[in-house]
Structures are given as structure tokens and as C-alpha cells.
Amino acid sequence: MMRRLVQGRSGATVIAALLALAGPARADREPEPLQVVRARAGGGAPRAPRAPATSSRTPASRPARDRDRRFETEREVQRDLEDALARDRRLAAFEIIPFVEGDEVTLLGAVPTRAARRAAGQLAAKVDGIARVTNRLVVRRPRDAAAQLADRVRRALAADPEVGGLDLRAQVAGRTVLLAGAVPSERDRRRATRIVARLSGVRVVVDELVLSRDAPQASR
């Protein structure tokens, strides 16, 4: 049994009581260490030793960690959907803004046709991590869609390294593109019509290109 040495006004009385309870000391037993406890000034019971101080800082709560993980997951899903929209040639030219929350996505923006609106919703539904799609895309046809399509046709042909130097002309009526001009080879004819046919918004390509040896040779 550990003996306590109490110091204070009533220290002698307390020590005597403790020694009486402990009984005579045995010669073959080593004395137990003393623990010093100061008695209160008024003679009351001695104070218990203070508990070691503990830090008031607590680790991050589990809800906070779960919220951070969910935020990172939403960002990854949104990046995957944005990449898918950018790779889809039917939708890459349109301003579509996805907003991901949990496993749901809301599509915002404007597209020129109902088909493009439907295609965007179907594409979003195929992305991993998305369980529900709210399609709020607005179908808004531009006033001069034909002029915009003709400009896209000209820019696509001019940017091609094989037919970019040829004198080609495009006329647009609805989704039909009439392609005219002179090309030096059949290969150039096929390439020019294929470039136009792959553009979003083009349904029919009317080929009125003619073969001519006098046509300027595009750089190969």
C-alpha cells in the first residue's frame, strides 16, 4: 500500500493515522515510494493530483472529411463530362455548361436544334458517376444559321493542309452545302467533300467540284 506524506497544519495527525493503518513494517519488504500531497490550509481533505492537461484541438470531424471527398468526386465527374462534350463533334461548337451535384448533373446553355439537346443529355447519362440528368438546354436557332455554317465550311477547308490552297466555294441552304470549284485530282475532291460532310449541322453535300489540271496544287 502506497503511503502518502501530507504536509500542512494537520500533517502530523494524518501521518500518525496512516502509519497505524499500515501496521508494522516488514524487514523483507522494501519501502514503497512516497507521494507528496499538500493539505488544504483550512485542514480539509488533501487535494487530488491534477490530471495531465489535454489538448483542446480535435481532429477534423468525419462529416467534414466526407464533404471534402464528395467535392473532389464531383469535380472529377464534371471534368469527365466536359471532356466528353468537347470530343463530341456534334456538340463541341456549342456552349454547354454542366453543373454536377452528387450523382446528378444539370445541363445549362443553348443549342441550335432539339437533336443537339437530346444528344447532350444522352452523352451526360453515359458518364461514370452520373445517375440523373436534368436537361435545361434551350433550343435557340441563330438568325443567320446559313451564313454561320458557310463560314465554318470555308474555315474548315482553309485549315486543311491538302486542300487549303485550292479555290473552293461553298453555298448553304438549310443543312445542305453545295461545294464548287476546281481541284487537281480525284483525291482532292474526295477529301474536300469528306471535310464538309463531317461538320456539325451538315446533312447533305452536293459535289460540283471539277477536275482541272490548271487548278493550283495544294501543298502536301
Phi, psi dihedral angles at 160 (to 5 degrees): -80, 135
Measured in residues, the chain has a length of: 220
Q: Tell me what the mean pLDDT of segment 136-146 comes to.
A: 79
Question: Letter for the amino acid at 81?
Answer: L
Helices 186-197 and 145-159: angle between axes, nearest 10 degrees: 140
For residues 9 and 15, the answer to whether their CB atoms sit within 8 Å is no
Q: The domain spanning residue 93 has which CATH number?
A: 3.30.1340.30
Assigned domain for 15 exists? yes
Assigned domain for 179 exists? yes
For residue range 72-102, list pLDDT tens digits in order: 888 899 999 999 999 998 888 888 989 988 8
pLDDT at 47 over 60: no
Q: Tell me what the mean pLDDT of segment 145-171 comes to.
A: 88
pLDDT at 26 over 70: no
Instruction: Count Cβ neighbours within 10 Å for each residue of 52-70 and write b for 16 or more, e otherwise.
Output: eeeeeeeeeeeeeeeeeee
Rounded percentage of the chain residues whose pLDDT exceeds 90? 32
Indicate the pairing of strand 35-38 with strand 4-7.
parallel
Q: Tell me what the mean pLDDT of segment 23-51 comes to.
A: 52
> How far is residue 107's CA from residue 116's CA, in Å, rounded to a whole number?
12
Poorest-pLDDT segment among 37-51, 76-90, 100-114: 37-51
Q: What's the whole-model pTM score?
A: 0.39
Residues 72 and 135 in one domain: yes
> How far is residue 14's CA from residue 44's CA, in Å, rounded to a whole number?
11
pLDDT at position 59 is 53
| Domain range enclosing 31 | 4-38
pLDDT at position 29 is 52
How many structural domains is the chain composed of? 3
pLDDT at position 134 is 94
Looking at 120, 139, 158, the residue that finishes a domain is 139
Looking at 115, 139, 163, the residue that finishes a domain is 139
Q: Tell me which of 25 and 126 has the higher pLDDT.
A: 126
Looking at 124, 139, 154, the residue that finishes a domain is 139
Residues 130 and 174 in one domain: no
For residues 171 and 177, the answer to whether their CB atoms sit within 8 Å is yes
Q: Tell me what the mean pLDDT of segment 195-210 comes to.
A: 91
pLDDT at position 64 is 66
DSSP state of 138: E
Assigned domain for 58 exists? no
